[in-house]
Amino acid sequence: MTNNKQPRVIDIFDTTLRDGEQAPGCSMNLQEKLEVARRLERLGVSVIEAGFPASSPGDLESVKTIAEILKNCSVAGLCRSLEKDIDAARAALTKAAQPRIHVFLATSPIHMEYKLKMLPDQVLEQAAAAVKYAKKFCSDVEFSAEDASRSDPDFVCRVFKAVIDAGATVVNIPDTTGYAMPEEFAQLVQYIKEHTPNSDKAKISMHCHNDLGLAVANSLAAVGAGADQVECTINGIGERAGNASLEEIVMGLRVRKDYLHVDTRIDTTQIYAASRLVSQVTGVNVQPNKAIVGENAFAHEAGVHQHGVLVNRATYEIMTPESIGIPKNRMVLGKHSGRHAFEERLKELGLTLDEAALEAVFTQFKMLADKKKVVSDPDIEALVMGASALTPETYKLDRWVVNSGSTLSSTSTIRLQHKDGEFLEYVSVGHGPIDAAFKAINQIIKKEPELEHYDLRAITGGEDAQGETRVRIAWEGRRWNGRGVSTDVIESSIKAYIAAINAMEWETPVK
């Protein structure tokens, strides 16, 4: 595939805030979504699918807020092929600089028979009518043939011809269940391009799921077959086994530009920061051996590998850590480091703070440096995430005490400060110090949410490492994530639980 022409540029359509958020435990509140959206815009994605406006008032508000603020990329809202869904998307995208309405309808025999209970001709008619209706309000309309990889290719061509005639600017070929094989999926893309008479009037897109671990392979195969847009998510999060991973697709296209001769508009140096942010706000850790952004992605332990890298990095590294934004430590930061060095490190990490937040984080850095000999980059990222109040604090930890041992019951005294200024204190007994602390907090807030997930890990190595705790709580059918960091694991646990409580309090209407 190597040639001397300029690389073809394809669009990166990010659906982290829509399909990614649908993954169990990956829900985000409005402020978290906005923070991720800003990071995606900085990353350089062409389209951000910000949500499914008709699915809930919260999703509509998220799409509306993001659409009003972002100016340098398209913002899309997903809709079923129903006028009420399209009306919700239109309302959410009214102030978008570059709006896109994304309509979908299933085309596979199993979906049409059992889910839609519609005949093929009825599906074709509804798809075309939905696109025609959406086109009244938005010049950029995308249509997705859900479960296209298990559909009759000729029927997909018929549907695509109809929706393009109705005004679709993008037609999407989803591998909804992750069923396709790479060569098979490439052939499907080629077939659709060749057998849809007006395919030259719309961009061809694909949306691959990872049920068989082939989402990225299928996406790259589709690009090689001539697709114009790839739909993906940061860290590959999404329904079931997830979506195609943005970072793997982008770096695959960059590293193997000689083979696929394709480029994107992505600033790859922002990839690591985007991955870290999504991991932080969703509470889902990236597996250590994850390609591109995993902890071990650029680690070398075998002696032969280490020797080769020391002589010439290209012996075992086909890309550099710096190319995806992993900072190269130039200075050791500790208690004697000044503010200028600290600010420089923030810039290297791609972290931006306003003056007030910077002052607060620098103060916390100095306090942490008194407890640790060296403050690492992950430590700094943790401080910034903790200071970035993505959720308003209804409750703030004032002080805590625990008593625990093998011969006495665990007790905890917690004192919280309410946003109104009132101090609230309670003592509780539990099966351990953390259980006792959580029960005391429940007594203060007068609610007993279910603790669905609790995870504790060290941010760095060493006996002075900070502990990072992530929790997920459930209350009345909804879920919230919380994260806390401290050199004391009990304190990090308490902070994480309070963070989740604050998210719950902020989004739960007062009865």
DSSP secondary structure of 260-298: H-EE----GGGHHHHHHHHHHHHT-PPPTT-TTTSTTTT
User: Whose CA is closest to 216, among 240, 182, 188?
Assistant: 182
Residues 260 and 360 in one domain: no
Residues 192 and 312 grouped into a single domain = no
| Chain mean position to CA 45 | 13
pLDDT at 389: 52
The answer to whether residue 2 is domain-embedded is no
Q: Residue 330: its pLDDT value, please? A: 47
In this structure, the answer to whether residues 336 and 401 fall within a common structural domain is no
Q: Are residues 274 and 306 in the same domain?
A: no
Residues 205-250: pLDDT tens digits?
999 999 999 999 999 999 999 999 999 999 999 999 999 999 999 9
Q: From 449, 450, 441, 418, select the one nearest 494 (Cα to Cα).
A: 441
Q: Tens of pLDDT along 348-362? A: 776 777 788 888 888
Whether the per-residue pLDDT at 511 is higher than 70: the answer is no
Which amino acid is it at 484? Answer: G
With bands split at pLDDT 50, 70 and 90, how would you rate the model's confidence at 394?
very high
Residue 290 lies in a domain: no
Q: What is the mean pLDDT of the chain?
A: 90
| Residue 13: inside a domain | yes
* Predicted local confidence at residue 300, as pLDDT: 56
Average pLDDT over residues 472-491: 89
Range picked from 48-62, 293-307, 361-375, 468-482 for highest mean pLDDT? 48-62
Q: How far is CA 218 from CA 127, 179, 231, in A?
A: 25, 10, 12
The Cα 497–Cα 439 span in angstroms is 11
β-strands 8-9, 262-263: how paired?
parallel
pLDDT tens by residue, 72-117: 999 999 999 999 999 999 999 999 999 999 999 999 999 999 999 9
Domain-located, residue 357: yes
* pTM, entire model: 0.82
Asked whether residue 155 falls in the same domain as residue 304, the answer is no
Question: Do residues 452 and 496 make contact, with C-beta atoms less than 8 angstroms apart?
Answer: no
So what's the pLDDT on residue 32? 87
- List all residues 6 or more positions away from 16 whose beta carbon is below 8 Å from its beta carbon: 36, 40, 233, 234, 237, 246, 278
Residues 277 and 307 in one domain: no
- Number of domains comprising the chain: 4
In three-state form (DSSP H/G/I as H, E/B as E, the rest C), the secondary structure along 90-125 is HHHCCCCCCEEEEEEEECCHHHHHHHHCCCHHHHHH
**Closest to 333 measured CA to CA, from 275, 280, 378, 299:** 378
Lowest mean pLDDT among 19-23, 50-54, 168-172, 495-499: 19-23
Q: 34 with 161, same domain?
A: yes
Quick one: pLDDT band at residue 33, thresholds 50, 70, 90? Answer: very high
Name 373's Cβ contacts closer than 8 Å, sequence gap at least 6: 334, 464
Question: Does 291 map to a domain?
Answer: no
Q: Is 287 within the bounds of a domain?
A: no
Per-residue pLDDT of 368-382, as tens digits, reads 888 777 787 778 877
Q: Which long-range contacts (CB under 8 A, 24 or more apart) does 360-363 make?
A: 360/387, 361/387
Which residue has better confidence, 195 or 466?
195
Task: Give the CATH number for residue 96.
Answer: 3.20.20.70
- Choosing from 253, 282, 311, the residue where a domain stops is 282
CB atoms within 10 A of CB 463: 7
Query: Which band of pLDDT confidence, cut at 50, 70 and 90, is reported for residue 386?
Result: low
Examine the pLDDT at 298 and tell me if it is beyond 70: yes
Tokens of 192: 């659709």
Which tens digits make up the pLDDT trace of 413-449? 999 999 999 999 999 999 999 999 999 999 999 999 9
Cβ proximity of 382 and 351 under 8 Å: no
Same-domain check for residues 54 and 201: yes
Final residue belonging to a domain, choices 282, 315, 348: 282
Q: Which two tokens stand for residue 190?
A: 């080629």
Q: What residue numbers bound the domain in which 303 lies?
A: 297-325
Q: Where among 347, 364, 387 does a domain terminate?
A: 387
Residue 117, class by beta-carbon neighbours within 10 Å (0-12 exposed, 13-18 middle, 19+ buried)? exposed
- Whether residue 21 is predicted with pLDDT greater than 90 in this model: the reply is no
Q: What is the mean pLDDT of residues 184-193?
A: 98
Indicate if the pLDDT at residue 304 is higher than 90. no
Are 17 and 83 found together in one domain? yes
pLDDT band at residue 4 using 50, 70 and 90 as cut-offs? low
Flag whether 90 is in a domain. yes
One domain for residues 130 and 32: yes
pLDDT tens sequence across 248-264 = 999 999 999 999 999 99
CATH number assigned to the domain comprising residue 431: 3.30.160.270
In terms of domains, do 365 and 478 share one?
no
CA distances for 145 relative to 91, 127, 167, angstroms? 24, 9, 15
Which pLDDT score is estimated for 171?
98
Instruction: Answer yes or no: do 269 and 349 share one domain.
Output: no
Has residue 335 got a pLDDT over 80? no
Q: Which of 13-27, 155-169, 388-402 has the highest mean predicted lDDT (pLDDT)?
A: 155-169
The answer as to whether 289 is a domain residue is no
439 vs 303: which has the higher pLDDT: 439
